[in-house]
C-alpha cells in the first residue's frame, strides 16, 4: 500500500511541477477564441487628450452622412476585403444539459453557436448574447472556463445567475461560410443571432440582451447602432474608432477611409435606439469611452469609467451586477438603470471562485461514480491489477482548475487495504488525520504537504471512504501558492461520490 502511494506521489509531483512552471504559456487548445480572449490586448492605449498619432481628440466627431442611419449606410455599403481569412478550428462538444451546439441562419449561411439548453419548465426566459474579445470569429470551450477574478471574459456570470446565454460564432470562424470581415459582416451576424434566439420557444423575444468585451464590446456597440431589437446592450472596453484596434488583424481595404467609418461606432452614435451601457477601466481604453461620451448627444447611451481598474478587471464584478439587472427587468419596457456609485461599490466585493461545470464519471464494474470538472480529462493509470485514475485539466493556465491534479483509486478486497491501514500510513508520514463520514460511510481526511526535487511544495489532501470491503481514495494536489482556494472544488468532487446499490 505504501509503495503505491509513494509511486503515485512521485508521478503527480512531476505533473504538477510541469504545469506550474508553464502556467503562463498558451494552452494551444481546441480553437482560437480561448487563447485570444485570455490575451486580448489588441486595443491601442491613447492619452485622454491626444491620440497615438499625437493629434488632439475632437470634442465632437461628425457623422459621414447625417441623413442616413447606420443601418441604411451599412446595408448600402459594399465592403472590399484585401484578404480572405477564415479558419476551420474544431468546435468542442458543450456540457450536456448546460449548452447545446446549434447553427443559426445568417446572410452567408448557417453559423455555429452555443445556446443555453431548454430549462424544460415551459416558461419563456431572458437571454443575453455574449460576444467575447479577440479577433477570432469562432467559438470553443471558453464559456465553461473559469479564469482569474481580475480577467473573466467568459460572460459565465450571466448563465450562472440564471440568464440564458448564447455565444455566437461568426462568418469565417470554425468552418463557417464566409470570411473574417473585421467588424462589418459580423454586425449582420449578431442581428441574425438575435432572430435565432427570438425563435426559441423557451426564450422571451422581448427580453434578449447583447453584451461583449473589447473587440466584442465594439461589435456590440455597432450592433446597437444597427438594430433596436435588443432590449439593452452592454459594452465593455469598446473603442470609438477601429483604428485603435490591432490593425494587423484588419482584412478590409485599408486605403479606403469609408471602410474605417463603417466599422467605427463614433460616427453612428445617434442611431442607437436601445438603452446602451458602456463600461471601461480608467487604465484601459478610457480615452475612447470619454470621446464617445463627449461626442454623444444620445440619451440612450450611458458611459461609466471605473477608476483604478483596467481593461479586464471590471468584468467579473460588473457582469454579476448586470445579470441581476436583467433578472429584475421584467416590465413591458426596459427599466434597467445603473449608477456610477453602485458600480463603484460592486468593484469592492470580495473575489468569488465559482465551481466549474461538472460531469459524471462511472466505473461500471465497481459500481462507483463521482463528478469532476468538464474541462478535465480522466487517464486510466492502473497497473499490476491496481485500479487508479489521474484527472487533470487539458489546459495549463495559472488557476486552480488547470493546475490541480487528482488521483482516484479503488482498493479491492484482494489488496488487503482498509481504512485503518490508510490512516496509519498517512499519520506516519506526518499528515493531520481526521475521521469523517461521507455519504453515510466511514471516511477519513488527511492533510499534508509534499516537496518535489526542485523544492516546489504542494498541498496534498487525501480522502478515503470505506464501503463494506471496498475502499476508495481521492488524493488532490495543488501548489501551495494557491492556498485553500481549491477546497470547494475538491469537496464538491468528494461529496458527489456514489455507490451502486
Collapsing DSSP states into helix, strand and coil, what is residue 243? helix
Q: What's the pLDDT score for residue 66?
A: 59
State pLDDT tens for residues 86-133.
999 999 999 999 999 999 999 999 999 999 999 999 999 999 999 999
Q: Return the pLDDT at 365.
A: 87
Q: How far apart are CA 225 and CA 72, in angstroms?
A: 11
Cell numbers standing for residue 164 = 440564458
Please provide residue 3's backbone torsions phi and psi, each rounded to the nearest 5 degrees.
Answer: -60, -40
Residue-wise pLDDT for 280-289, tens only, equals 999 999 999 9
- The C-alpha atoms of residue 127 and residue 124 are separated, in whole angstroms, by 10
Residue-range domains of the chain with CATH = 2-28+356-499 (3.40.1000.10), 62-88+123-346 (3.40.50.1820)
For residues 118 and 386, the model is more confident at: 118
What one-character DSSP code corresponds to residue 265?
Answer: G
d(CA 260, CA 484): 49
The predicted pLDDT at position 47 comes to: 36
Q: What is the pLDDT of residue 39?
A: 41
Sheet strands side by side (includes 432-438): 376-380, 387-393, 405-411, 470-479, 457-467, 441-451, 432-438
Q: What pLDDT was estimated at residue 278?
A: 98
- How big is the chain, counted in residues? 501
3-state secondary structure 165-212: EEEECCCCCCCCCCCCCCCCHHHHHHHHHHHHHHHCCCEEEEEEEEEE
**Hunting for cell 487508479 — which residue is that?**
388
Give the cell for residue 212: 461583449
pLDDT at 37 over 90: no
User: pLDDT, tens digit, for every residue of 437-458?
Assistant: 999 999 999 999 999 889 999 9
Q: Region 226-246: what's the mean pLDDT?
A: 95
Sequence-ordered list of residues with C-beta below 8 angstroms from that of 95, at least 6 positions apart, any chain: 144, 357, 359, 374
pLDDT beyond 90 at 21: no
Task: Calculate mean pLDDT across residues 22-32.
Answer: 33
Confidence at residue 16, expressed as pLDDT on a 0 to 100 scale: 42
- 87 is written with which cell numbers? 479558419
Q: How much is the average pLDDT of 68-77?
A: 97
Helix H or strand E encompassing 288: helix 286-295
**Mean pLDDT over all residues of the chain?**
88
Average pLDDT for residues 316-342, to the nearest whole number?
A: 97
Per-residue CA distances from 275 to 117, 128, 232 (Å): 27, 14, 5
pLDDT tier at 276, thresholds 50, 70, 90: very high
Cell of 28: 494551444
> ∠ CA(159), CA(161), CA(164), 5° rounding?
35
6-36 burial string, b = 16+ CB within 10 Å, else e?
eebbeebbeebbebbeeeeeebebbbbbbbb
Q: Which of 173, 170, 132 is nearest to 153 (CA)?
A: 132
The answer to whether residue 344 scores a pLDDT higher than 80 is yes
Q: What is the pTM of this model?
A: 0.87
Question: Three-state DSSP class for 85?
Answer: coil
Given this model, what pLDDT does residue 64 score?
Answer: 54
pLDDT of 355: 84
pLDDT at 27: 32
Amino acid at each position: 500500500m505504501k509503495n503505491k502511494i509513494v509511486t503515485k506521489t512521485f508521478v503527480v509531483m512531476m505533473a504538477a511541477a510541469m504545469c506550474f512552471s508553464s502556467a503562463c504559456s498558451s494552452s494551444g487548445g481546441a480553437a482560437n477564441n480561448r487563447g485570444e480572449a485570455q490575451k486580448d490586448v489588441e486595443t491601442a492605449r491613447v492619452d485622454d487628450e491626444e491620440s497615438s498619432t499625437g493629434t488632439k481628440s475632437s470634442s465632437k466627431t461628425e457623422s459621414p452622412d447625417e441623413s442616413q442611419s447606420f443601418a441604411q449606410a451599412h446595408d448600402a455599403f459594399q465592403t472590399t476585403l484585401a484578404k480572405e481569412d477564415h479558419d476551420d478550428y474544431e468546435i468542442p462538444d458543450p456540457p450536456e444539459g448546460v449548452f447545446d451546439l446549434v447553427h443559426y441562419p445568417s446572410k452567408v449561411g448557417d453559423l455555429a453557436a452555443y445556446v443555453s439548453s431548454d430549462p424544460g419548465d415551459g416558461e419563456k426566459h431572458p437571454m443575453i448574447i455574449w460576444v467575447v474579445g479577440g479577433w477570432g470569429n469562432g467559438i470553443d470551450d471558453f464559456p465553461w472556463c473559469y479564469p482569474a477574478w481580475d480577467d473573466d471574459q467568459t460572460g459565465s456570470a450571466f448563465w450562472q445567475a440564471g440568464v440564458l446565454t448564447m455565444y455566437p460564432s461568426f462568418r469565417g470562424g470554425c468552418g463557417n461560410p464566409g470570411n473574417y470581415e473585421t467588424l462589418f459582416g459580423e454586425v449582420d451576424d449578431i442581428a441574425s443571432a438575435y432572430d435565432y434566439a427570438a425563435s426559441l420557444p423557451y426564450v422571451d423575444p422581448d427580453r434578449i440582451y447583447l453584451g461583449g468585451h473589447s473587440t466584442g464590446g465594439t461589435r456590440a456597440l455597432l450592433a446597437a447602432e444597427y438594430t433596436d431589437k435588443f432590449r439593452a446592450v452592454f459594452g465593455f472596453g469598446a473603442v470609438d474608432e477601429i483604428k485603435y484596434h490591432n490593425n494587423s488583424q484588419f482584412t478590409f481595404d485599408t486605403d479606403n477611409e469609408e471602410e474605417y467609418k463603417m466599422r467605427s461606432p463614433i460616427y453612428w452614435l445617434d442611431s442607437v435606439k436601445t438603452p446602451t451601457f458602456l463600461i471601461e477601466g480608467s487604465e484601459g481604453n478610457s480615452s475612447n469611452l470619454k470621446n464617445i461620451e463627449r461626442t454623444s448627444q444620445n440619451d440612450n447611451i450611458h458611459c461609466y469609467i471605473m477608476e483604478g481598474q483596467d481593461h479586464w478587471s471590471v468584468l467579473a464584478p460588473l457582469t454579476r451586477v448586470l445579470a441581476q439587472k436583467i433578472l429584475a427587468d421584467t416590465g413591458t419596457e426596459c427599466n434597467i438603470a445603473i449608477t456610477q456609485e453602485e458600480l463603484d461599490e460592486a468593484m469592492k466585493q470580495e473575489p468569488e471562485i465559482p465551481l466549474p461545470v461538472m460531469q459524471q464519471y462511472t466505473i461500471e464494474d465497481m459500481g462507483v461514480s463521482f463528478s469532476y470538472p468538464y474541462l478535465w480529462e480522466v487517464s486510466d493509470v492502473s497497473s499490476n491489477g491496481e485500479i487508479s485514475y489521474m484527472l487533470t485539466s487539458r489546459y495549463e493556465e495559472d488557476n486552480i482548475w488547470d493546475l490541480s491534479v487528482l488521483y482516484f483509486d479503488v482498493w479491492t478486497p484482494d489488496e488487503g487495504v482498509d481504512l485503518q491501514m490508510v490512516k496509519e500510513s498517512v499519520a506516519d508520514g506526518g499528515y493531520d488525520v481526521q475521521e469523517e463520514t461521507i455519504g453515510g460511510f466511514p471516511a477519513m481526511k488527511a492533510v499534508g504537504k509534499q516537496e518535489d526535487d526542485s523544492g516546489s511544495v504542494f498541498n496534498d489532501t487525501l480522502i478515503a471512504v470505506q464501503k463494506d470491503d471496498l475502499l476508495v481514495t481521492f488524493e488532490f494536489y495543488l501548489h501551495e501558492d494557491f492556498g485553500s482556494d481549491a477546497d470547494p472544488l475538491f469537496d464538491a468532487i468528494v461529496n458527489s461520490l456514489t455507490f451502486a446499490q
